[in-house]
Amino acid sequence: MKLPASLAIAVVAATTLTALPANASSRRFPAAAARTLALPSLHGTFAGRMPRQRQVDLYIRLAGRHDAELGAYAMAIMTPGSPYYGRYLTPQQFGGYFGADPIVYNRAIETLRRRGFVIDELPENRTDIVAHAAAPAVEAFFQTPLDDRVEGGRRYFTNRYAPVLPRALEISAVSGLDDYGFHHPMLRRNPNAVVNHVFSWGPDDIAAAYDVQPLYDENLDGKGITIANATCGAASSSDLALFQNTFQLPRAALVSTGEPRSKALSENCGGGGYGNGESSLDADWATAIAREATFHQVVARGPSNHDFDLVYSYIVNKLGSSVHVVTTSWGVCEQLIKGTASLSIDEKLFAPAVAEGQHWFSASGDEGTDDCEEPRITAVSVDYPGSSRYVISVGGTNVRARIAHGNVQAWRNETVWQESNSDGASGGGRSILYAKPVYQRGVTVNDGVRDVPDISLLSDPVNDGLWMAQGGALQPDWGGTSEAAPQWAGLFAIIEQRYGGGAIADPHARLYQLGSSGAYHRLFHDVTRGNNGITDGYGSFRGYKAGPGFDLATGWGSFIAYPLVKAY
């Protein structure tokens, strides 16, 4: 792989445009016999053509000039000893080298405009185009009807056939042609909780159990660092303030980008308040660890894969130079995202995230090895984006602590999170999408594939749930890997603060390096008991057992905060 010594920002020059057919209202398509049905068209029942006036939002990716080098460069940045180790780029530098051919990129923009599309955004990576158009223009451009369909009482739209991608424009993927696939939140609540007579963990309990307090004693609390959150449904400033006031925490700032309409998004993001609850849990607990950090939530319009493409793009392309720690507690099982345009787009976003020095933490899932939770999918599946080789997957544990006078005094032991009523377990297992990345080779089991989770933390809502503020009230007994991921992100905000606020060594290589070292048991709680198998409404799914060192139920285990931060 050859990279120039200086990655200069490419200058996009004006070009002569190649004309393409301009009939945006045509509904004539190639013969059906020659077409491949789109995956969502294989499900549900036909409910009519998409109305002509409907606007369709799209995320379009063009081939980058150096796509073939991208994965290798991202891995080289992760790998100690590599000449590119830690040589992070700005989004503009990334676009200057890895972006599309400027002539082709401009041609694509102008062609889309002539064909009835409105260009909404041109991300800094210089390969992507965010645009929208009325249904007939989209149908004509990609040569496929757009249909409404119904499955299990849920109405969705989809392209009928795989899109025809104009070769002259070098379009490699387009998302937004359907809203069938969607992300799910990863939080649980003990339904039997009695609010006034139940113990739940507060921030000082976590600080005592996981050895965080000595960091605060040295003024390491995330001050000056921003944690980004990729989410659906918005946490409110008043709820975060309630949480902070209740537990006498500093007033960490909450910044929102995207869609802050909490009521509408509660419905769009899963109903029952779980969308907003997810975001509230993330905000409360990322800042419960990094108590002086700023929490920047980037809020999706809805839970579709396409909606999250836009959120990921914003964080990588807009925040890439200023935000180095990112958490997300939304995901989709690998079985349901494989083969989709969103998967292709997202991987081409997470690779530049690594190249730009962003470190992503993702909840591993709450259904053990059955992340799909689908009756028609009987195969085991882990959660994406945690399964990406560019993202840190965070699993769940159950903690036993020494408690006195209602307060945690110290950690005693830890097991895999697996609820006795089979209503939750730490997501983990083997990826069906990715080969074993270099940082796992010779360290994890010799299975040839990406193993998850990488690390874990308390997640059990039954025995040791957490407090959360939502809807103007403090609520006990929340759990799920959604509470583990933001706390690990909070710890990394403290690590970033310790090193002066700049991008730090990539956690994949560094955590695996530390986990494989003789210092392992001083830095991590090694979880050696339990497994993440589950029997739920969709069947029985055999789990993976915990064991010494790395395992497929808890990864390296949970952090011992003070020595881990010092050793990092």
Q: Tens of pLDDT along 141-151?
A: 999 999 999 99
In this prediction, residue 337 has a pLDDT band, given cuts at 50, 70 and 90, of: very high
Q: Mean pLDDT across the stretch 217-232?
A: 97
How confident is the model over 64-93, as a mean pLDDT?
A: 94
Across the beta sheet with 171-175, what order do the strands follow? 118-121, 128-134, 55-62, 171-175
Residue 228 in this model has a pLDDT that exceeds 70: yes
Q: Which residue has the higher pLDDT, 229 or 188?
A: 229
Instruction: Please say whether the beta carbons of 331 and 233 come within 8 A.
Output: no
Structure tokens at 458: 């308390």
Give the highest mean pLDDT range of 38-47, 422-431, 460-469.
38-47
- Average predicted confidence (pLDDT) for the chain: 89
What secondary structure, in 3-state letters, does 119-139 show?
EEECCCCCCEEEEEEEHHHHH
Average pLDDT, integer, range 492-516: 95
End-to-end Cα, the chain, rounded Å:
29
C-alpha span between 389 and 452 (Å, rounded): 10
Question: How far apart are alpha carbons 95 and 124 in whole angstroms?
Answer: 6
CA distance 235 to 241: 11
Phi (first) and psi of residue 138, to 5 degrees: -65, -45
pLDDT in tens, 24-61: 344 566 666 578 999 999 999 999 999 999 999 999 99
At residue 458, does pLDDT exceed 70? Answer: yes
- pTM of structure: 0.91
CATH class of the structural domain 32-64+99-175: alpha beta
Q: pLDDT tier at 259 (50, 70, 90 boundaries)? A: low
DSSP state of 522: H
Quick one: which of 184, 200, 332 has its CA closest to 268? Answer: 184
Q: What is the pLDDT of residues 93-130, one digit of tens each?
A: 999 999 999 999 999 999 999 999 999 999 999 999 99
Is-contact 444 451, C-beta < 8 A? yes
**pLDDT computed for residue 539 by the predictor:** 78
State pLDDT tens for residues 263-281.
444 456 764 445 588 999 9
Name, in order, each residue with C-beta under 8 angstroms of 326's C-beta and a sequence gap of 6 or more.
227, 228, 229, 230, 315, 353, 358, 359, 360, 361, 489
Q: Which two tokens stand for residue 77?
A: 């940045």
Amino acid 263: pLDDT: 42
Tokens for 241? 């303030």
Q: Looking at the predicted structure, is the pLDDT value of residue 191 above 60?
A: no
User: Comparing 10-24, 304-318, 373-387, which segment has the lowest mean pLDDT?
Assistant: 10-24
Q: State how far the alpha carbon of 103 is from the alpha carbons of 121, 166, 229, 349, in Å.
A: 18, 15, 35, 22
Whole-number pLDDT of residue 66: 96
What SS3 string covers 328-339? ECEEEEHHHHCC
Range 303-332 average pLDDT: 96
Question: 382 with 446: CB under 8 angstroms?
Answer: no
- Whether 302 shows a pLDDT value over 50: the answer reads yes
pLDDT at 503: 87
Q: What is the mean pLDDT of residues 497-510?
A: 93
**Residue 322 and residue 340: Cα distance in Å, rounded?**
30
| CA–CA gap between residue 97 and residue 101 (Å, rounded) | 10
* pLDDT tens digits, one per residue of 530-557: 999 988 777 788 899 999 999 999 999 9
- Tell me the CATH architecture of domain 184-567: 3-Layer(aba) Sandwich (3.40)
CA 497/CA 536 separation, integer angstroms: 42
Q: Is residue 177 over pLDDT 70?
A: yes
What DSSP designation does 113 have?
H
CA–CA gap between residue 135 and residue 114 (Å, rounded): 15
At 10 the pLDDT is 30
Chain CA centroid to CA 159, Å: 25
Locate tokens 């579709």: which residue?
304
The stretch 208-225 carries a mean pLDDT of 98
State mean pLDDT over 408-421: 90
What's the confidence (pLDDT) of residue 266? Answer: 46
pLDDT at position 378 is 82
Buried b (16+ CB within 10 A) or exposed e, 100-132: bbbebbbbbbebbeebbbeeeebbbbbbbbbbb
Q: How many CB atoms lie within 10 A of CB 428?
A: 33
Cα separation, 451 vs 34, whole angstroms: 39
In terms of Cα–Cα distance, which of 479, 553, 529 is closest to 198?
479
Strand pairing report for 154-159 and 146-151: antiparallel
pLDDT at 8 over 90: no
Give the residue from 60, 39, 54 showing the smallest Cα distance to 139: 54
Domain boundaries of the chain, sorted by first residue: 32-64+99-175, 184-567
